[in-house]
Amino acid sequence: MAEAARQIRIQDLKLVHHARAGHIGGDFSAIDILTTLYGAVLDISPDRVADPERDRFILSKGHVAGALYTTLAAFGFLPVAELATFLQPLSALNGHPNRTKVAGVEANTGPLGHGLPVAVGHALSAKLDASPRRTYVLVGDGELQEGSNWEAMMAASQHRLDRLTVIVDRNRLQQGATVKETNDLDPLHDKATAFGFAVAEVDGHDHGALLDVLAQVPVQPGRPTFVIAHTHKGHPISFMSDNVAWHHKVPGEAEYHQALTELEDKP
């Protein structure tokens, strides 16, 4: 799993470097979560993208589309060669994912606060169908400032959607500053508990810990799950990690080669 995540980071670094654009900070905070989901949790495969009984993964923080595309490519949902078209004119690989163009994408996200309500709707459909299929949604922590998330969390709790798992990429940084100094979320654990969720906190870069909590559905019968995945924006690159400047900065040649060296030297 660690090797898969490392390769996805290398691919994502190349993607952003090639396109001269992207959101590498958020990509790198989310890649371990995405790798764990696609590698070991989601009941989905490239030949089952239209199977009604597949698990659903919705990337609500749509600006890390680059991380999603590289992950989908690593697991065979789209050709690796297609990654070179990222952000190029008429490419299917837009700056935000498009389900009508890219196999494996479930919702066209980008504006924040959209994925969680859609995930709740899908979880409701599974409940109506008495289906065991699961719903996962990845939201950013800054994104939780959007009120629509909290509307959806109330509905998830009201309808006892215990096969819904909300994962928060808790990298503590938003576009221009820390979440804390912008519009603080804490105490996030208590807030999610108060909204009726079973809450777990995990190191969002520890694949084993992520797998333990994400594979466990439900964590608590009758309650949807809220996983606070503690991450670092830009992880594990020395000069990017926890640095707000890397929200959508593009590495220059020296930075690119240093980051590549750091990734390639990691075990």
Partner 1 sequence: MTPPPSVADRPRFDCRDAYVATLSELAHEDHRIVGVVNDSVGSSKLTGFRSSFPDRLINVGIAEQDMVGVAAGLANGGRIPFVSAASCFLTARALEQIKADVAYSNHNVKLCGMSPGLAYGELGPTHHSIEDIAWLRAIDNLTVIVPADPVETSAALRWAAQVEGPVFVRVSRMSVPQVNADDYTFTPGRAVTLRDGGDVTLIANGTVLWRALVAAEQLEAEGISARVLSMPTVKPLDVDAVVAAARETAGIVTVEESTIAGGLGGAVAETVVQHHPARVTILGIPGFAPTGSAAFLLDRYGMSPEGIADAARSLARHG
Within 35-54, the residues that bind partner 1 by CB under 8 A are 52
Choice between 13 and 107, CB closer to partner 1: 107
Stretch that binds partner 1, among 14-22, 93-101, 191-199, 228-236 (CB under 8 A): 93-101
The Cα 239–Cα 3 span in angstroms is 21
Of residues 83, 8, 82, the one with CA closest to residue 38: 8
Q: Decide: is 172 part of the binding site for partner 1 (CB under 8 A).
A: no
Of residues 116, 156, 162, the one with CA closest to residue 139: 116
The Cα 45–Cα 73 span in angstroms is 12
- Least distance in Å: CB of 114 to partner 1? 6
- Least distance in Å: CB of 133 to partner 1? 8
The Cα 171–Cα 175 span in angstroms is 11
Q: Decide: is 110 part of the binding site for partner 1 (CB under 8 A).
A: yes
Choice between 148 and 193, CB closer to partner 1: 148
Total Cβ atoms within 10 A of residue 74: 22
Q: Decide: is 122 part of the binding site for partner 1 (CB under 8 A).
A: yes
CB-based burial label for 90 (10 Å; 0-12, 13-18, 19+): exposed
Q: Decide: is 267 part of the binding site for partner 1 (CB under 8 A).
A: no
Q: Which one of 9, 56, 223, 232 is in contact with partner 1 (CB under 8 A)?
A: 56
The Cα 23–Cα 250 span in angstroms is 8
Q: Decide: is 200 part of the binding site for partner 1 (CB under 8 A).
A: no
Could you write out the DSSP letters of every residue in 6-40?
HHHHHHHHHHHHHHT---HHHHHHHHHHHHHIIII
The Cα 232–Cα 235 span in angstroms is 5
Letters for 130-169 (x = contact with partner 1 by CB under 8 A, - = none) are -----x-----------xx--xx-xx--xx----------
CA 76-205-96 angle, to 5 degrees, is: 50
How many residues bind partner 1 (CB under 8 A)? The answer is 35
- Least distance in Å: CB of 17 to partner 1? 29
Choice between 140 and 251, CB closer to partner 1: 140
Q: Decide: is 224 part of the binding site for partner 1 (CB under 8 A).
A: no
Q: Which residues bind partner 1 (CB under 8 A)?
A: 52, 56, 98-100, 106-111, 113-114, 116-126, 128-129, 135, 147-148, 151-152, 154-155, 158-159
